[in-house]
Structure 1
Amino acid sequence: MSVGKMKKYKVMLKHPVLRRHLPKTRWFTKSRTKRMLKTYSSVFIKPNHGSGGSGIIRVKRLKKRYEVRSASRRKVVRSRFLFKAIKSYRNPGHQYLVQKGLRLAKYHGSIFDIRIYLQKPRGKWVVSGEVARVAAPRKYVTNYLKGGHAVSLNRVLYSLFKHNRTKANTYSRKISKLCVIIAKTINKRHPVRELGVDIAIDKKGRIWIIEANSRPGHMLFTQLSDRTMIKTIRRNKRLIRK
């Protein structure tokens, strides 16, 4: 059984460095969701277990209504019908979290986030792959299974920071360092040998930890023309299996 999102969130929340990068996340209840929507313009409601962007619901506060989206389905409802709309998109057999929505930076008009693939083939955590996941047009999730596509992280950061290579490299190093801390921290409580960390950069340039996946997919890396990272990931997988 994979480790749930909330367990990993609580482990990271205790670390003084990681805490600053975590968007507020709580167990989903009506009262918590209402409170968070008063503070934030949007929230994401996610299944505690699950990956690939499946089952994620976004609620966005409009002037007097709420937009509720899940995959390609969308409803705009008044306040009194909000939880009826959310319930229609939820899987009744799953536990859900509610997380602060972020105003993500964009690459060529689409939102993106970053997948860092960490492995522990021997006694040390290594970053085996890093890639930007760019959402399909008008999509609010970036996952490969939801139409997201891979772009070289260096290219995206270079574009984001107006061709300032020094700033792009600084961010890249910060993100890698942060993700190694995440892997070490989670590994102390929940033994894992692989971790896929999803990182976001918001419109103000702040780095956020979206989540850490203990069963990460690696097919995204096959989309890159440079095969170095996918070869490294597969080689380390063989070492881990041994």
Structure 2
Amino acid sequence: MTANQKSLGIITICRGSSFLEKAYYKKLTLIGRKSGIRVFVFSPREVDFDTRTVNGFEFRDGEWQKRNFPLPAYIYDRCFVGPSYRHYKPFVEKLQNDPAITFLGHGLSGKWQVHQMLVKSPLLKKWLPPTDLYSFSSLQRTLQAHGSAVIKPIAGTHGIGVVRIDKSPEGYRVSGRNRENQPFEKACRGQTGLKAFLAGFVGSRSFLVQPYLSLHTRDGTPFDVRVLVQKNGDGQWETTGRAVRLGDKRSITSNLHGGGKAVSLSSFLANHYPAKTRSKIEQQLDRLVAELPPFLESEHGRLFELGIDVGIDTEGNVWIIEVNSRPGRTVFKMIDDPQARIHSITQPVRYARYLMKHA
């Protein structure tokens, strides 16, 4: 096996020598080194396809060092989709289309595309909230049918731009998080006022509209369950960990970037649901987590790790909220689950080694 075939390149959005998740990539580098795999970080924009080399960064001697590397045969995509991603997307796609390169997994494109794939499964379909592309008319239909609605950006992250809309005696009440991820509330007089506000808020972005679900505790604290699933060293899907993320009462989302905290799933369910309901929730979670990764992969193409966000309403009904192909790991550090935290970091290297052995 050649040197580049024993290398794992992590692609991410770099600004000079600055890039996010350095602590995580440092751990991946050290784990890879023990396995005989060279791990380094680079921007997709820095690839020279003529020489098949790339300028990137490797953690050595206690610091990140800039070097020129042969283009790796295996790539771990950590280019988060956001405002600057359009500058990277063509370069990522060129790497994906290179026959000599294998991606550990191909990133999911957006909430609407994921919904359209999952709704094809008769089993998963029952856990999906009614979902439509946002327009003012689709919002009106949802409000008419359910009384309250939520709109969320198709390409959004961290709960930014997620908004709840309720009918009120004066017209409508709008609450959620703005583009700066700050909570806000606003009253709109009639449909004209609501339409004018949402036109400015949505702008040219694409949103989804769904009924508002009571995904909160009895005292109004929003929460969801984050399940991290990854492929292991045998190429099989495995659950790395589960945790509950609790949000700020002023928010409608439980994202940790919005000031939330995390607790263990078992203790949370024991504190908030009776035993019979708890058993039903756990059974549904087990089925959902077993079914979703292989089904989504069969529709989408190769995946290797997913953050599955699951909502549980006040009646104990389970809902698929979001599926993320570039999941974070902070939640397992916050609940002091060392096994989940270690597995979340080691599995990408184990799976890369599996692919290298079976190439």
TM-score of the aligned structures, taking structure 2 as reference length: 0.63
Aligned to 1:67, the other structure's residue is in SS state strand
Aligned partner of 2:299 in structure 1 is: 189
User: Paired residue for 1:95, among 206, 210, 216?
Assistant: 206
CA contact (8 A) 1:65 1:76 kept: yes
State the AA in 1 paired with 2:325: S
CA distance in 1, matches of 2:176, 2:199: 11
Q: State the shift of 1:107 in Å.
A: 6.4
Aligned partner of 1:54 in structure 2 is: 160
Structure with greater Cα Rg: 2
CA distance in 2, matches of 1:85, 1:240: 47
Q: Deviations over 1:127-186 (max 9, x none)?
A: 111001111122211001111111100011111224x3x653552242032122111111
Runs of 4+ that moved beyond 6 A:
none
Aligned partner of 1:130 in structure 2 is: 242
Aligned to 1:82, the other structure's residue is in SS state helix
1:240 and 2:351 aligned? yes
Decide which moves more: 117-126 or 26-35.
117-126
Aligned partner of 2:92 in structure 1 is: none
Aligned partner of 2:335 in structure 1 is: 224
1:76 and 2:157 aligned? no
CA contact (8 A) 1:107 1:156 kept: no
CA contact (8 A) 1:18 1:182 kept: yes
Aligned to 2:222, the other structure's residue is in SS state strand
User: Paired residue for 2:278, among 152, 168, 175?
Assistant: 168
CA contact (8 A) 2:235 2:351 kept: no
Aligned length: 239
1:5 and 2:115 aligned? no
Aligned to 1:192, the other structure's residue is in SS state coil
State the AA in 1 paired with 2:168: L
State the AA in 2 paired with 1:6: W
CA distance in 1, matches of 2:257, 2:238: 25
CA distance in 1, matches of 2:162, 2:175: 8
Closer, same or farther: CA 125–220 of 1 in aligned 2, 3 Å: same
Aligned partner of 1:45 in structure 2 is: 151
Aligned to 1:39, the other structure's residue is in SS state helix
Identical residues among aligned pairs (%): 28
Matches within 5 A, 1:102-181: 102-106=213-217, 109-121=220-232, 122-162=234-274, 164=275, 167-181=277-291
CA distance in 1, matches of 2:264, 2:147: 30
CA contact (8 A) 1:114 1:198 kept: yes
CA contact (8 A) 1:134 1:149 kept: yes
Closer, same or farther: CA 109–32 of 1 in aligned 2, 3 Å: closer
Aligned to 1:106, the other structure's residue is in SS state coil
Aligned to 2:262, the other structure's residue is in SS state strand
Extract unaligned runs of 5+ from structure 1. Answer: none
CA contact (8 A) 2:152 2:208 kept: yes
TM-score of the aligned structures, taking structure 1 as reference length: 0.91
Aligned partner of 2:134 in structure 1 is: 28
Decide which moves more: 16-25 or 115-124.
115-124
Closer, same or farther: CA 128–169 of 1 in aligned 2, 3 Å: farther
CA distance in 2, matches of 1:234, 1:172: 26
Q: State the shift of 1:108 in Å.
A: 5.7
1:66 and 2:172 aligned? yes
